[in-house]
Structure 1
Amino acid sequence: MFNRRKFITTSATGLAGIFLLPAVNSFASADNGYTSKPAKLKFRFALASDIHYGQPGTGFEQNTANMVKWLNDDHAKNHLDMVIINGDLVHNRPDLLPEIKTKYLDKLSVPYQTIPGNHDFADAVVWKSVFNYEDHYTVEHGDIAFVLANTADTKGKYVCPDNSFIKQSLDKFKDKKVVFVVLHIPPVKWLKDEGFLDCPETVELLHAYPNVKAAFHGHDHLLDGVRYTGNKFPHFFDSHIGGDWGTDYRGYRVVEINEQNEIYTYQVNASQNPRLNANKL
């Protein structure tokens, strides 16, 4: 686990600096407060992933209910403008997508967006039938924009995102101050045998637009920090909500943008399991 916060200063040249600060243990204090939050935020959102609703042998119903409660509590105390559920909402059961939507996600107190993961077995038709938008789309909030795209097919095979769509979207948003790209599976393998994608065209697109400040991924339940491509372009991960493997804790990532377009992001240990770096020799 990468037990730290990240601070990104945005500028015309892209990533200017990163400062490492302690991670947040969510709801650790009586008032659910925390320090170092930027003043006068213009946008604050959270990303959670890998719910794996319906996975046999797991407490998927409780895990999903916990996520909704954690995010609603965060919103009540600190305000969230949006939540993004970044893939693997269900576990190999696309027929359960309507159930997780109506029974859980619709109970979020904040607008939410979703994108498929490899375990959702979904394409544009499936996603639109449940969420009323396709498996690749954009979201705009003033001078901030999001580009979300699918990275798997209906059989769970990993596929590179629709790069034509990504380029078209990034061209459209070239005058935005801040743009984020959200992909369940990262488009690069940092390690030879890693279960990620090899999509050099996607990575090139991420590097080509100075206002694209970061990419956000799920998929690997053990990752909750940041990795880099090119000239320090950050790819952030958010641990996991469900499933039968991953970090000892379950949590989500928060991103805050202030009026100066400084971006501040940290991982939340929502389940409050503090065990780190456990080993058996």
Structure 2
Amino acid sequence: MNRRHFLKNTTPVLLLLTNGNMLYRSVSELASPRNKVKCRFAVASDGHFGEPKTTWESNYNSIISHINLQHKQSKLQACIINGDIIHNDPAMMPLAKQQLDQLKMPYYVTQGNHDRVNEEAWRKTWNMPFNHSFEIGKQVFLLATTSNEKGDFLCPDLDWMRAQLEKYKKAPNVFIAIHITPVKWTEYGADCPEFISLLKDYKNVRAVFNGHDHDQDDMKEREGIPFLFDSHIGGSWGTAYKGFRMVEVMDDNTVATYILNPAEKMNEHMLQDRQAAVRAIGNGK
């Protein structure tokens, strides 16, 4: 389905403005071609590989096929698997990796509360630490654990996050992926006010991606920062479909994001540049 056909056959698109307000625009107003995409990536979470009484093998096969199809149609620079890759049993971790290795683009992982291994085992499997960063061109990605070997719900490591945000404070965009929701919006969220307070000081933080809450597939907002959910790719509960999130950064630094469920688009957002709002205020606009 091309973008123009999609826009003509869906409900109005929600825009997040630089001043933090939200409004709707009709599909006809957004039907003109957008700027060229300079970075495109997928975010998926909660595969729960090995969970009893679920179709975990076919779930993985289906989502991997759909993400690879997206890559074939329009190249993806990366895929982020945002936690709960397995369901408690550490023996499943290398088997899940064998499945994810079928992805045709570079992929990166975060630890969820059901990924109950220590950091040594995590590094051995994924060749990356619990907390790590990477860059795609000028786009910066910070991926952090929000759990441990016991499966506790934790806030991100503030010292590590602060050091990374300071290191990349001149980057045009910083995207953060953490598994546990850091605001008590949901039954299974955590309360992380210090983390939220830290993020609001860095206007280049464009979005935080959350997994964990299988029944959430849209956007919430705190301190002008979008927190984006992506449904689930496995597990025994959640939305009626299993899907993942697509993110596109345009040449003008607008960010468009939507859910694939997994073949049709849903909940499309356009995220304007928070730094642009600051610049506009400084120029007296």
Q: TM-score, normalised by structure 1?
A: 0.84
How has the CA–CA distance of structure 1 residues 222 and 4 changed in structure 2, closer, same or farther, with 3 Å as cutoff? Answer: farther
The alignment status of 1:124 with 2:119, answered yes or no, reads yes
Q: How far 1:142 moved relative to its partner?
A: 2.1
Q: Distance in 2 between matches of 1:148 and 1:100?
A: 19
Name the structure 2 match of 1:148: 143
Higher relative contact order (CA 8 A, sep 6+): 1
1:151 and 1:184 in contact (8 A); partners too: yes
1:253 and 1:268 in contact (8 A); partners too: yes
Q: Distance in 1 between matches of 2:136 and 2:204?
A: 15
Q: How far 1:268 moved relative to its partner?
A: 1.1
* Match runs of 1:1-281 below 5 Å: 6-7=14-15, 20=24, 38-102=34-98, 104-190=99-185, 194-230=187-223, 232-270=224-262
Q: Deviations over 1:166-195 (max 9, x none)?
A: 00000000000010111100111125xx21
| Number of corresponding residues | 253
Q: Distance in 1 between matches of 2:76 and 2:206?
A: 20
1:218 and 1:238 in contact (8 A); partners too: yes
Q: How far 1:98 moved relative to its partner?
A: 0.8
Identical-pair percentage? 39
Q: How far 1:79 moved relative to its partner?
A: 1.7
- Structure 2, unmatched stretches of 5+, are 1-10, 267-285
What SS does the corresponding residue of 1:130 show, helix, strand or coil? helix
How has the CA–CA distance of structure 1 residues 158 and 257 changed in structure 2, closer, same or farther, with 3 Å as cutoff? Answer: same
Task: Give the root-mean-square deviation of aligned CA atoms.
Answer: 2.3
Q: Distance in 1 between matches of 2:251 and 2:264?
A: 31
Q: How far 1:86 moved relative to its partner?
A: 0.3
Q: TM-score, normalised by structure 2?
A: 0.83
Q: Deviations over 1:10-41 (max 9, x none)?
A: xxxx5666564799xxxxxxxxxxx7773311
Q: Deviations over 1:216-265 (max 9, x none)?
A: 001010000011112x3210000000001100011000000011111011
1:249 and 1:271 in contact (8 A); partners too: no
Q: Distance in 1 between matches of 2:22 and 2:51?
A: 37
Structure with the higher fraction of residues in helix conformation:
2
Amino acid aligned to 1:118: N
2:35 and 2:252 in contact (8 A); partners too: no
Q: How far 1:129 moved relative to its partner?
A: 0.9
Q: Distance in 2 between matches of 1:219 and 1:21?
A: 30
Q: Distance in 2 between matches of 1:265 and 1:6?
A: 10
Q: Distance in 2 between matches of 1:139 and 1:15?
A: 29
How has the CA–CA distance of structure 1 residues 57 and 153 changed in structure 2, closer, same or farther, with 3 Å as cutoff? Answer: same
